[in-house]
Structure formats: structure tokens, C-alpha cells
Structure 1
Amino acid sequence: MANPSFVYKPPMMPYLDFLYRDEDIVVAHKPSGLLSVPGKAAEHKDALISRVNAVLPTASVVHRLDMATSGIMVMALNKDSHRHISKQFELRKTKKRYFASVFGHIAQDIGEVDLPLICDWPNRPKQMVDFERGKHALTHFEVVERTHDANGRPFSLVALYPITGRSHQLRVHMLELGHPILGDRLYAHDSALAMASRLQLHAESLCFTHPSTKQWLNFQCPAPFSHVLAQPLSQD
């Protein structure tokens, strides 16, 4: 297995961080290190949806973030809302922006990674590029800044726009670009892993249409590992 030394220690502070709540939806900030949904083992029962359900029993998961990824998640509070928002994700009507700190300086200011992905089954949960069996995966990226850490090691802050939503897509695409995300215990080489105590990947913006009011909603949650405050995403 790829995670022989993994011990689940979910963060307790903040225990639950709501960004928005009404009769149809709840939007929360998931911290790095917390599962989106419970795992099979008893010690993996603590998860964002479990914590939300303790307060809002009808809440259901519409999408997920990797355990190590922090950022915005929306949950539905009734069946109609769940169906409506799920359809938006399925039809790619939502807009998402992630921020990541990656190893080295990316040469291009903007670009895309279009590489098909499949589960690396002997090393699960890792994913890998496979041109024969992999599912289409497309990520647009934009370099926000190129800088160095306190020890003079180069890294880039990049905005990532996943067009598809494959498992570990952003992590593998950055790896294939030659710039693994800092602190990524699954994919980063030793130098990139040593530069951060957590995965430097954060779901910073999520936009979608409200299931009842049909209003375009734009939620933002700044990355905890960056000083950058980004402009809201446009609806166009």
C-alpha cells in the first residue's frame, strides 16, 4: 500500500467552520487533515459530513475534497437541492479555483495539463497517467507568483482551474508538469515534501447557482498558506 505509515489525526480547531447556511444548502471550510466522508475503519469515522450532520442531520455530500486538501465544500440540506447541485457538477456548470504552492518556478505564466488518469491500483490511493485506459482529465493553470521560502528554495504559487474532476487530478497534473505540490506525502519528492508540513492545496473559490433562488453564488476562502487575496471569479 502507498500509505503504510498513515495515522488519522483530524484537526479539532476549528471543529466546524460554516461560510454560509440557509434552508437548502450549507457551505463549509474543510481543514486539511479531515476526511470529507467517513472511512470504513472505526478510527476514520470523524469527517466533515459527520460533524455537519451532528448539527444539520439532513445534510448530504454533493462533492468531496481529498483529506489533505483544505477549502470550500457545499452540502445539500434536502433532496431537491442535492439533485440540483449534483447536476451542476455533472454538467460542469460550477466554477472552481484552487491555489497551490508547487516546487520550483513554472516557466509558463498560463497553460493547461491535458493528461488522462487512472487509479494506480497496486499503489492505491495513488493515481497515474494512462493514455490507453485513463479517463480524460484537464486542468488550466495560471502562475500567481514565483518566490522563495526562508531557506532560499524556489516555489510558485499557482491558481488551478480543474475542468474535469478526477481523483487527485491537480496533484498528479502538477507532478507531471514537473512541479509537485509542496507537502504532498503521496506524490512529492523529498525536497518538495520537506518544504511544507501539509499539502499546499486549497479549494479557494466555488461558484454555482442556488437551487431555489437561481442566484449565482460565489464563495471564497483564502488559502491559509498564502497572503494572496484573489479577485472573485466571473460568471462568464
Structure 2
Amino acid sequence: MTQEEMLARVLYRDGLMIVIDKPAGLPVHRGPKGGESLEESFEALRYGLPRAPSLAHRLDRETSGCLVLGRHRKALAHLGLLFKHGQVKKTYWAVVEGGPEADTGTIEIPLGRLDETRGWWMQPDPNGLPSVSTWQVLGRSGGAGEPGEALTWLALSPLTGRTHQLRVHCSAMGFPILGDNIYGRAPRFGGPGLHLHARQIVVPLSKSKPPVTVTAPVPKHLQARMAACGWREDDP
């Protein structure tokens, strides 16, 4: 990613943090096999400080949207505590296959590692870590995707921060996220792309000021199926 491309993805900046719009398909860290990663381009975001910003949390490779960076060590420590104690409110938009019957609900399914050979892959596990997510239906299609395919546009909020939490929770409830090639029905390669977007993040940076609210625009690869569920490009 060029310096200009990275700067164009900045959604918010102050003295403590930067929020960028992460593109889908690019990992935040370089993997064990190498390859391009997002943090290699953080040097473009110094804005005069002696060091580049660092990640305050993570998003999956295929997930797009709001990603928070700490601009220096003290800021990173402060943000780390806010994330650790669940004080940062995260809202994701997703398109799922099928969908819940109710318009709102809560998923409480403990999660654990699938096995040691699968890295960060997770599964429902009664002896795993407590994991809680909420959903709200924002729109439904009547089979407007692939032939006979019913889709639902959801707002999802992870109240805990487990790896792949929303993806595993939706799959376990019977409405996997469209394009999920690990927990869903998508082929391992060549599918439509994961329809999961970190739409908004609310960070209570200061006790004396209102929380910082940042919203990421809907990426192109989500727009067609979200439109089938009632989303319009001029929606807030």
C-alpha cells in the first residue's frame, strides 16, 4: 500500500490514536510465510512523531473497517486497557445466509481452540472461554442473492473479544456469515469474500470528553448483497 493509499484510509486522528479503514483481504500482521501486511505501511501515519503508530487490536484478514492504532507507547497502553476491559464498543455489519427469526437477540456460546494444528481456528466448547455477542436485524432479502438464497443484514456487537467470535457464533446459530470459508458454507477458495465489516467503533478516550465515535464506509464487495437486504448508498 502506498503512502497516499494509506493516508486516504485515515478516518480519525488525534494526539493518542488513529482509526483507519482496513481493506478486506490484507492481514494486519505479516504471517509466518511472509507476504504483504497492513502494518508495513504504518510509517506513512507518523504525522511528525518519532515512531509509527501500532495496532491497539486486530481484525481478521478478510474483515474490513475500523481499525484502531495507538500513536505512542502511553497511548497504546491506555487503549489496550480500554479494549481489555470491554470499554470500547464495536459494531459490525454482516450479511448472513438465512438469518435469525427474531429481530434482536443475544448469543452466549463459550469458545475454545479447534485443535493445535489449526492456529486460531475456534469452535463452540462448553469448557471454553465465555463469549457473548448480540445481533439486530437491519434488513432481509427474499432470496435476492443467488437463486433461492435468503440473506439477512445484521448489526453484530461482540461483548467479549474472542478470536473469530462473530464468525463462530453466527455459524453455530445456523446463519453463517456469507463468504466465510472456515466456519460457513463458502468454498475454501474462490468464494464471494467474507461479508463482515467493522462498521463503527466508540472509544472513551477521556473521562472529561464524550467518547470518540468513528464510522467506516461500506466497502464495494458488500454493497450488492446489502442492497438486496434494503441498504441504500445514501443511508447514514
TM-score (norm 1): 0.83
Between stretches 59-68 and 147-156, larger displacement belongs to 147-156
SS at match of 2:134: strand
- Structure 2 match to 1:186: 182
Q: How has the CA–CA distance of structure 1 residues 96 and 28 changed in structure 2, closer, same or farther, with 3 Å as cutoff?
A: same
Q: Which of residues 147, 152, 161 is equivalent to 1:151?
A: 147
State how many pairs are aligned: 217
**Residues 1-236 of structure 1 aligned to structure 2 (within 5 Å):** 15-16=5-6, 17-43=9-35, 46-56=36-46, 57-121=51-115, 122-132=117-127, 134-147=128-141, 148-149=144-145, 151-190=147-186, 197-210=192-205, 214-224=209-219, 225=222, 226-227=226-227, 228=231
Between stretches 14-23 and 91-100, larger displacement belongs to 14-23
SS at match of 2:170: helix
Q: Distance in 2 between matches of 1:120 and 1:135?
A: 13
Q: Distance in 1 between matches of 2:207 and 2:105?
A: 36
Give yes or no for contact 1:98–1:159 (8 Å, CA) kept in 2: yes
Between stretches 67-76 and 215-224, larger displacement belongs to 215-224
- Structure 2 match to 1:7: none
Deviations 1:16-69 (A, max 9, x none): 2111123321110101101112222232xx222221134423311110000011
SS at match of 1:181: coil
Q: How has the CA–CA distance of structure 1 residues 212 and 101 changed in structure 2, closer, same or farther, with 3 Å as cutoff?
A: same
Deviations 1:185-208 (A, max 9, x none): 1111258x98x6210000000001
Q: Distance in 1 between matches of 2:97 and 2:183?
A: 12
| Paired letter, 2:168 | V
| Paired letter, 1:48 | L
Q: How has the CA–CA distance of structure 1 residues 190 and 88 changed in structure 2, closer, same or farther, with 3 Å as cutoff?
A: closer
Give yes or no for contact 2:171–2:177 (8 Å, CA) kept in 1: yes
Q: Distance in 2 between matches of 1:154 and 1:126?
A: 27
Between stretches 120-129 and 100-109, larger displacement belongs to 120-129
Q: How has the CA–CA distance of structure 1 residues 209 and 105 changed in structure 2, closer, same or farther, with 3 Å as cutoff?
A: closer
RMSD of aligned alpha carbons: 2.6
Give yes or no for contact 1:85–1:211 (8 Å, CA) kept in 2: no
Q: Distance in 1 between matches of 2:213 and 2:165?
A: 23
SS at match of 2:168: helix
SS at match of 2:169: helix
TM-score (norm 2): 0.83
Question: Sequence identity, in percent?
Answer: 30
Give yes or no for contact 2:45–2:52 (8 Å, CA) kept in 1: no
Q: Distance in 2 between matches of 1:230 and 1:136?
A: 35
Q: How far 1:150 moved relative to its partner? A: 5.6
